[in-house]
Amino acid sequence: MFRSVLLLGVLVAGGFLGGCGPAGTDQDAPLHESSETAFPRPPGKQQAFAAAAGTRKDALALLDSLKRSALRDAFAPLERLGYTRRVRTERLAEGGQVEAFEQRVVRYTPGGDGGARVLRSDSAGALASSALGRLAGSDEADPGAPSANLAQQVLPSEFPFLSKRNRYAFQYRRLPDTTLASGPAHVVVVRARPDAEGENQSIRYARLTIDEDTRQLVGLRMHRVRRSTLFDEETRQLVRLRPLPGRSARPPDSTRWVPAETRFATRLHVLLRPPRRFRSTASYFQYRRPRDA
At residue 241, the pLDDT reads: 95
At residue 273, the pLDDT reads: 81
CB distance 200 to 185 below 8 Å: no
User: How confident is the model over 133-175, as pLDDT tens digits?
Assistant: 433 334 545 555 666 667 666 677 789 999 999 999 999 999 9
The answer for residues whose C-beta is within 8 angstroms of residue 272's C-beta and 6 or more apart is none
Instruction: Select the more confidently predicted residue: 156 or 13.
Output: 156
**DSSP conformational letter for 290:** -
Question: Across-strand partners of 178?
Answer: 185
Q: Which residue, 218, 220, 216, 286, is CA-closest to 252? A: 216
Structural domain includes residue 290: no
CB distance 205 to 39 below 8 Å: no
Q: Which residue, 11, 147, 18, 19, is CA-closest to 73? A: 147
Reply yes or no on whether the pLDDT at 112 is more than 80.
no
Chain center to CA of 63? 18
Q: What is the mean pLDDT of residues 172-179?
A: 91
**Global confidence as pTM:** 0.77
Structural domain includes residue 289: no
Report the domain count for the chain. Answer: 1
Structural domain includes residue 74: yes
Structural domain includes residue 292: no
Reply yes or no on whether the pLDDT at 232 is more than 90.
no
Q: Is 234 exposed, middle or buried (0-12, 13-18, 19+ CB in 10 A)?
A: middle
> Could you tell me what percent of the chain has a pLDDT over 70?
67
Question: Across-strand partners of 180?
Answer: 183
- pLDDT bracket for residue 63 (50, 70, 90): very high
Mean residue pLDDT across the chain: 76
Structural domain includes residue 293: no
> CA–CA separation, 47 vs 119, rounded Å?
55
Question: Across-strand partners of 220?
Answer: 208, 239
> CA–CA separation, 251 vs 48, rounded Å?
42
At residue 252, the pLDDT reads: 54
- pLDDT bracket for residue 8 (50, 70, 90): very low
Structural domain includes residue 44: yes
**DSSP conformational letter for 70:** H
Structural domain includes residue 175: yes
Residue 203's domain spans which residues? 2-284
Q: What is the mean pLDDT of residues 23-34?
A: 46
Structural domain includes residue 291: no
Reply yes or no on whether the pLDDT at 62 is more than 90.
yes
> CA–CA separation, 200 vs 206, rounded Å?
16
Decide: helix, strand or coil at residue 216. Answer: strand
